[in-house]
Structure 1
Amino acid sequence: MTPQDIDLVQSSFAKVVPIREAAASLFYGRLFEIAPEVKPLFKGDIREQGKKLMTTLGVVVNGLKNLEAIIPAAEGLAVKHVEYGVKTEHYTPVGEALIWTLEQGLGDDFTPETKAAWATAYTTLSGVMIAASCRNIEATE
């Protein structure tokens, strides 16, 4: 990720924070629409899950300038996700739902450059998480 990508992601996420509850609701609504097979993976209160999502996104977004520091947390999260039943193929609709949510929530502020920066960030972090989950699966077989 370039410094400009990081700035775009961080500045756009700052605009999401005030609407984080609505954004989380949009995200899960869209995710369950495009990937209904993941809905059973969510056992608890979806509003609480939304709070966790926004908190985690905040930590990741704020840590993008020091990616090496957030990678272990992302890897740990990936391992937990495997325990919940998350599969590699679930990362694609999650990314699609995230981008869609940002488009809806930010409107004209979600420029093509900002969208590309988010796509890069998501691809980078999901790649780390997928690799960690695959290592975990291999270690337990």
Structure 2
Amino acid sequence: MLSTHQIDLVQDSFAAVVPITDRTAAAFYKRLFEMAPDTKHLFRNDMAEQGRKLFLTLATVVDALDRLDTIVPVARELAIRHVSYGAKEHHYAAVGSALLATLELELGASFDAETKAAWLAAYTILADTMLAATRVSA
């Protein structure tokens, strides 16, 4: 469970990224493909469009962090869809690491240790929910 303060940190830092989503998405995928080259084949579409989809999904999740019960069904559906794309369990750690590293790069000093910890907690909840759904559907 996330505290109100952690939710505020994630939501405030995400709001700071919104004006630079295209750049941030490009940086995220560059980092992800460097960290986990085996993920590159999962993305066959226009990467700019993929980046927009990523940030729309993140916006939905970030906005609903205080209502996790509304995110869980969406996260489960998303996870099952990702299995059909070829996503593997170990990709979740790479995505989380790439996301945190990208936010740190793009937000600079405002992405302090406390904000990073809040993002890690939020991502862990999301990833754990998604992984549980993939195991049940397997």
After TM superposition, is the score higher than 0.5? Answer: yes
Query: Aligned AA for 1:76?
Result: E
Task: Map 1:98-113; keep pairs closer than 5 Å.
Answer: 98-113=99-114
Query: Aligned AA for 1:49?
Result: Q
Task: Map 1:37-76; keep pairs closer than 5 Å.
Answer: 37-76=38-77
Q: Which stretches in structure 2 are left out of the alignment for 5+ residues?
A: none
Aligned to 1:28: 29
Q: Does the residue aligned with 1:82 lie in a helix, a strand or coil?
A: helix
Q: Distance in 2 between matches of 1:70 and 1:131?
A: 14
Aligned to 2:132: 131
1:33-60 deviations in Å (ceiling 9; x for gaps)? 0100110011111111000000000000
Q: Which stretches in structure 1 are left out of the alignment for 5+ residues?
A: none
Q: Distance in 1 between matches of 2:40 and 2:119?
A: 24
Query: Aligned AA for 1:93?
Result: A
How far apart are residue 104 of structure 1 and its match?
0.7
Q: Distance in 2 between matches of 1:91 and 1:37?
A: 12
Q: Distance in 2 between matches of 1:136 and 1:26?
A: 32
Q: Distance in 2 between matches of 1:69 and 1:17?
A: 22
Q: Does the residue aligned with 2:44 lie in a helix, a strand or coil?
A: coil
Q: Distance in 2 between matches of 1:11 and 1:89?
A: 29
Aligned to 2:20: 19
How far apart are residue 4 of structure 1 and its match?
0.7
1:65-98 deviations in Å (ceiling 9; x for gaps)? 1000111001100000000000111000000000
Q: Distance in 2 between matches of 1:111 and 1:90?
A: 25
Q: Does the residue aligned with 2:127 lie in a helix, a strand or coil?
A: helix
Query: Aligned AA for 1:62?
Result: D
**Divergent runs of 4+, >4 A:** none
Q: How many residues align?
A: 137
Identity of aligned residues (%): 52
Give yes or no for the alignment of 1:120 onto 2:112: no
